[in-house]
Structure formats: structure tokens, C-alpha cells
Amino acid sequence: MIFVNEFKLKKLILQPSERIAYSVKRSVIHLIFSHEQEVVFSMGPGMEMRLAKHSNYLFYEQDRDFQFELYAIEPSFIIALEIPIEALHGIMAKGTDDLNFRATDVLEKERYHKLNSNAPEVIEAIEQCIALDNLLLIEAKKYELLSHYFVQKDVQTYKCPFLNQKENVEKVRMAKKLLLNDLQNSPTIKELAKEVGMNEHNLKSGFKEIYAKPIHSFLKDHKMMTARELIDSREFKVNEIAEQLGYSNVSHFIEAFKKKFGLTPKQYELNSMGS
């Protein structure tokens, strides 16, 4: 719910006579798809990168903003997806297990850049995006594009050999569901391992491979994103939210929230009320 406005799809039209400025924001995954023409990324004099037709460029910078220019020799369409890293975490945390990409490649690095050719499904989705004017349909297409990009049939989804066994993957997914089922009384890793029938080592390594974070970090991040949703709802006091999320000490909850978002829950609430 809170990620809808943060996850954006942009349609850009490049004419041969113009250059378009493109801003890259820190902690946001930018994914640019070319269509039927080559696109040039200009970062400055003598610093250009060419994106072939029917290709894509994913880039992510954790600590800096920057800007470059886009241009093309012939008229060309570009589709750009922009999704904050926390929004992607949120999509994964809320059960969208179809996005089983090699998450550690992106989510655990300060800087990540990757060029790829568009899969046939991506090409088709891009053509549909270009043809669409209906905002609701375009909104749906951005999730379809994200899924097609990260779920490629010709690449190995998991790096960990242990996860090649479908049964083990399902056990890890079940562990995630159990972990998030009752945030007030979250199970321990030992309890999770026993419940899903895995040893603790395999559960921890498998969980990190699929969801890009250790179990404790994943749970903490999910609690903080849930806390933000609850604050946005204006239905609960800070101490009530802390209790719902399993914090016996309110100050520990406030400290965790501030570490995550840079504001205390109260400061966040006041800021969001004023915006």
C-alpha cells in the first residue's frame, strides 16, 4: 500500500535533436529499457555508454545522487522503472515470492550496474506500455515488467546448491510466512527450523539466499515498514504499535524506528501530517 506512489514507471520519447536529463537518486533502483533503437547515456565529455536496442540497464547507488543525459540517433521510446530499495524489500516481504532473483547481487551492495538483453516477455510488455494511455493499466504493467526482468527462465535463480531442491525452497518460504504471521510473538530461528523440518544452518543460509537478508534483519525491516504503515493509518499510539510489533520496551521500538528512517515515530507522524 505505501509503495504504490514510490514505485514509478516513466515513458520517455527521445528525438534525434534533443537530450533528456535523467536524475539518479540514491537508494533507488533505476531500470531503463530500450525499444527498437540504440540509446546513448552521456555522463560527461568522453564518458558515454551505449545501450543496444531491446536491452536494459539496471543501476543502483546507495550513497550518491547524480545526473546524466539520454539521447538517440533515431526517434526512440524508453521505459524506465524507478523503485526505492525499501519498496522492493516491501514487495518481497509481503509475499511476492515470484520475484526470486539473485537479490544479494543488488540489495547488499553500495553500487550495482548491469546490462542485459530484454527477454521476449519484456519486449512484449514494453510494446504494450508504449501503446497504453490508461493509467491503471500502466500501473499494472510496471509490476509485470519488474517480474519479467527478475524472473528470467534462462538464468539460474539460486546461487546456493542447497536451494536447487524445490522442497527446501518451499520450506524456506513457509518459514518466512510463519515468521511474519504473528509479529507480536515472532518465533525463534530454532522454533522455525523445527516447524518447517530443516536444520538451523540450512534455514539461515537458504533464507538469506532467497530474501537477501538474514532472518533477524528481514524481520526487523518488516516490522519497521509495518510500523510506518500503522503510523500512517493514524489509528494507534506509539506504545500500541510497539506492542503489536512485539516490543516490550517502547524506547527500543523508537530507537529501531529512528535508526531505520532517521526520525522518531512521533517526528515521522508530524512530518507526514504536514506534507
Answer yes or no: do 20 and 114 share one domain: yes
Q: How far apart (Å, rounded) are the C-alpha atoms in residues 137 and 189? A: 41
Kindly report whether the global pTM for this prediction surpasses the value 0.75: no
Mean pLDDT of the chain: 81
Q: Radius of gyration (Cα) for the chain, nearest Å?
A: 21
pLDDT tens column, 188-224: 999 999 999 988 988 988 888 777 688 998 899 899 9
Per the structure, how many domains does the chain have?
3
The CATH number covering residue 224 comes to 1.10.10.60
Parent domain of 177? 161-212
Which residues, including other chains, have CB under 8 Å from residue 197's CB and lie 6 or more apart?
171
Residue 83: pLDDT band (50, 70, 90) is confident
Of 224, 225, 273, 233, the closest CA to residue 253 belongs to: 224
Answer yes or no: do 13 and 138 share one domain: yes
79 in any annotated domain: yes
What's residue 97's pLDDT?
47
What's residue 191's pLDDT?
95
Q: Decide which of 139 and 179 is more confident.
A: 179
203 in any annotated domain: yes
Q: How far apart (Å, rounded) are the C-alpha atoms in residues 90 and 1? A: 10
Q: Range with the lowest mean pLDDT among 14-23, 86-95, 117-126, 253-262?
A: 86-95
Percent of the chain residues topping a pLDDT of 70: 83
2 in any annotated domain: no
Q: How far apart (Å, rounded) are the C-alpha atoms in residues 267 and 36? A: 48
What's residue 107's pLDDT?
47
18 in any annotated domain: yes
Residue 5: pLDDT band (50, 70, 90) is low
pLDDT tens column, 88-136: 766 665 544 444 444 444 444 556 778 888 888 888 888 888 888 787 7
